[in-house]
Amino acid sequence: MFSLLVGAVFLAVSEARYTADWASLDSRPLPTWYDQAKVGIFVHWGVFSVPGFGSEWFWWHWQGQQPPDRRCVDFMSENYPPGFSYPEFAPLFYAHFFDPAEWADIFGASGAKYVVLTAKHHEGFTNWPSPNSWNWNSVDTGPHRDLVGDLGVAVRNRSLHFGLYNSLYEWFHPLYLADKKNGFRTQDFVLHKLLPELRNMVVRYRPELIWSDGDWEAPDTYWNSTQFLAWLYNDSPVKDTVVTNDRWGAGCACKHGGYYNCEDKYTPGQLPTHKWEKCTSVDTQSWGYRRNMRMNELMSLPDIIEDLVRTVALGGNYLLNVGPSPDGMIPPVFEERLRAVGAWLRVNGEGIYSTKPWRVQMENTTAVVWYTCNGASVYATVMSQPSQSVLLLLEPKTTRDTKVTLLGLTSPLSWSPVKPNAGLTVLLPELPSTPAQAWTLKLDAVL
């Protein structure tokens, strides 16, 4: 009888139908894999990687915004012949060193559980052979290969989840510009370019995550976002596993969709009530590749680990971005950061993956400590080496069965209560050396 009941409940959930309105769509439970994964890698790669100057917004800063960014104008006049146009960068997007298996190995070594690649950024160039983007895609020009498809296979072969970033708007697409001129009362771009392309992308590559962007100039009613999401959740080939974010039209961020991004590099001051994700970049100045990036503009390993731990303690996922070069290489400094994150997670990942926020997220007595929990275990990640060999934790309530261990070591640590059943002083061993400057204590049988 019990098995029949469970089966009936599962069938009811899997056959749930969502209508094309936010009340219905927002009621969809988030597929469990996403919250368990915690850590992902973001990859910004496209024609913008060829100039590699300023950021992935180079085309807009050069020829879109008014007045143009003088630095971009000077860069072009000093390095390219008069009349050189942005589309002429596409044939130079060679990607001849692109090895998807090598990328997937690096991403796997980082400890990430999912990867999100730019299928199409605001420039409109697709990293796959979109039939709706003739001669402005990675098969017709540039690499002459299906970058999305090749990386997707390699990533999934490493048992990682594969997601795709897609910009709703395109800076200079004539149909979009015409709709914009009409005050978005017409939808030629949406009906003849965006939606056919999105559906094709989903059916062809079956992404488990769709990272939508470029939505802010028009309301969701222009983008037909609710109609697309209803199809995605009801009838698409990924209807039971796909996860989406909240960038589906002006005013949707932090309000509608699957999980919330709210804004780039969003960091809440307290525990949110809705699942969220922080996206950030190793290069603090850009998401895309920059030829002139400098070491002091990159996140250090301790910065990344502190950011990751804080994010997870506050219930979020952490999506860390790298920008590959136009010839298909992940710059060595990015690879070094990713592998170092993975080395830390191999020791401390028990306090990250599949965890939940604890009743208290942080305390700062002896040192800054962020808490997570999983079942009966509480994890306290210490973000700097205490000046003495003791660590004072005031928030956990101890019991006679309380046990404290340091992840990476097997022997229990000695501790004593601060006062009856509240707080504990932990006698620390010589802490293992780690460039991340963070260590995790596992507390069992605490309240």
List helix spans (H) across 158-234. Answer: 174-181, 188-189, 195-205, 220-223, 225-234
Q: Rounded mean pLDDT of the chain?
A: 96
Give me the phi and psi of 45, to 5 degrees please. Answer: -150, 130
Cα separation, 393 vs 358, in Å, equals 14
Are the C-beta atoms of residues 328 and 95 closer than 8 Å to each other?
yes
Are the C-beta atoms of residues 352 and 373 closer than 8 Å to each other?
no
Neighbouring C-beta atoms of residue 412, cutoff 10 Å: 13
Amino acid at 427: L
pLDDT above 80: residue 15: no
Cα separation, 8 vs 27, in Å, equals 20
**Could you tell me which of 1, 11, 51, 6 has the C-alpha nearest to residue 323?**
51
Give the mean model confidence (pLDDT) for residues 148-163: 98
- Name residue, tokens 């060829």: 50
Position 355 scores a pLDDT of 98
340-390: pLDDT as tens digits: 999 999 999 999 999 999 999 999 999 999 999 999 999 999 999 998 899
Position 420 scores a pLDDT of 85
Give the mean model confidence (pLDDT) for residues 154-160: 98
Peptide bond before 326: cis, by omega within 30 degrees of 0? Answer: no
CB-side exposure of 389: number of CA atoms within 13 Å? 8
Position 83 scores a pLDDT of 96
- Name residue, tokens 């961020």: 253
Are the C-beta atoms of residues 165 and 213 closer than 8 Å to each other?
yes
Number of continuous H segments (helices) and E segments (strands) in the chain:
14, 15
**Could you tell me which of 26, 413, 55 has the C-alpha nearest to residue 264?**
55
Position 14 scores a pLDDT of 57
Cα separation, 283 vs 304, in Å, equals 11
Using the 8-state DSSP alphabet, how is residue 156 labeled? H
Strand partners, 108: none
Rounded to the nearest angstrom, the gap between the alpha carbon of residue 7 and the centroid of all alpha carbons in its chain is 33
Position 421 scores a pLDDT of 77
Cα separation, 105 vs 339, in Å, equals 10
* Secondary structure (3-state) at 427: strand
Amino acid at 70: R
Encoded tokens for 49: 């990687």
pLDDT above 70: residue 108: yes
Cα separation, 150 vs 101, in Å, equals 9
What DSSP string describes 47-91? GGGTT--S-TTHHIIIIISSSPPHHHHHHHHHHS-TT--GGGGGG
276-306: pLDDT as tens digits: 999 999 999 999 999 999 999 999 999 999 9
Q: Are strands 209-213 and 243-244 parallel, antiparallel or unpaired?
A: parallel
Strand partners, 178: none
Encoded tokens for 234: 């009801």
Position 92 scores a pLDDT of 98
Give me the phi and psi of 439, to 5 degrees please. Answer: -135, 150
Are the C-beta atoms of residues 141 and 375 closer than 8 Å to each other?
no
Amino acid at 438: A
Cα separation, 276 vs 35, in Å, equals 9
Position 422 scores a pLDDT of 86
Rounded to the nearest angstrom, the gap between the alpha carbon of residue 230 and the centroid of all alpha carbons in its chain is 23
